[in-house]
């Protein structure tokens, strides 16, 4: 039974991450221009500057959280495929302060997640991380296992051969999965203070109950 729970949770997690990272493949150097990485030129990537970010507080109390996002964020619903082959809609907020820089957060409720705890939560986050790396053809730069308001969380970053990189934070609560994502076309376009503000501003207002 536990193995089935891992499998179902893994499908949801990977579907959400895969969709978001596929959507931002251009920022990560995974689009058509990446077919010849040498043509992009590392010197050109090194000249990119961080986007100017005007921060604003996004109050999603009905959804259980608050977070600081760049101004003019937009909300969408993206499909995540379940173990039955059907599509479930996942809430998703995105802000793009620069043409090649994106900050995003997605969250989803899924019954099997409520039944996951302990090592199963860690295994889910491992599966999500591995799927993200494979889907984006990136190599992990660093990773940390942590707790966020009492829930299992995972921070990791990765880079591809063209210089694109992303920072991700996964938080698996008793009933809900959150994913925070920041993507950049190069290391020179990434500002550490912006990533820290985005991640550190995220707060659970009404944490989902434990199982």
41 within domain boundaries = no
- The reported pTM is 0.77
35 within domain boundaries = no
Among residues 21, 20, 22, 107, which one has the least CA distance to residue 58?
107
| Count of structural domains, the chain | 1
Contact 156, 168 (CB under 8 A): yes
126 within domain boundaries = yes
Distance (Å, rounded) from C-alpha 177 to C-alpha 16?
10
Contact 194, 169 (CB under 8 A): no
The pair of structure tokens assigned to 200 is: 């550190």
Among residues 112, 124, 122, 119, which one has the least CA distance to residue 174?
112
Residues 6+ apart with CB under 8 A from 21: 28, 132, 135, 136, 166, 181, 183
Average pLDDT for runs of 10 along the chain of length 211: 40 58 62 44 61 92 92 81 64 84 83 43 79 79 93 91 88 82 89 95 74 42
- Domain residues for 80? 2-29+53-204
pLDDT 10s digits, 63-98? 889 999 999 898 887 766 555 666 667 788 989 898
pLDDT 10s digits, 120-132? 778 778 877 887 7
Q: What angle do CA 167, 3, 84 make, to 5 degrees?
A: 80
96 within domain boundaries = yes
Among residues 202, 201, 195, which one has the least CA distance to residue 171?
202
């Amino acid at each position: 039974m536990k193995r089935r729970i891992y499998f179902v949770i893994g499908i949801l997690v990977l579907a959400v991450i895969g969709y978001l990272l596929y959507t931002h493949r251009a920022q990560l150097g995974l689009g058509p221009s990446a077919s010849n990485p040498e043509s992009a030129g590392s010197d050109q990537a090194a000249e990119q500057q961080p986007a100017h970010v005007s921060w604003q507080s996004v109050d999603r109390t009905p959804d259980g959280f608050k977070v600081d996002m760049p101004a003019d964020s937009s909300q969408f619903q993206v499909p995540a495929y379940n173990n039955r082959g059907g599509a479930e809609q996942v809430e998703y907020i995105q802000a793009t302060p620069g043409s090649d820089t994106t900050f995003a957060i997605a969250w989803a409720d899924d019954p099997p997640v409520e039944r996951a705890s302990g090592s199963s939560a860690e295994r889910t986050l491992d599966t999500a991380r591995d799927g993200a790396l494979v889907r984006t053809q990136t190599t992990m730069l660093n990773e940390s296992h942590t707790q966020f308001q009492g829930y299992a969380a995972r921070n990791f970053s990765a880079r591809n051969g063209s210089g694109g990189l992303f920072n991700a934070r996964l938080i698996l609560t008793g009933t809900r999965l959150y994913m925070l994502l920041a993507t950049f076309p190069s290391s020179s376009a990434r500002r550490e203070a912006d990533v820290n503000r985005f991640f550190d501003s995220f707060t659970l207002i009404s944490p989902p109950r434990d199982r």
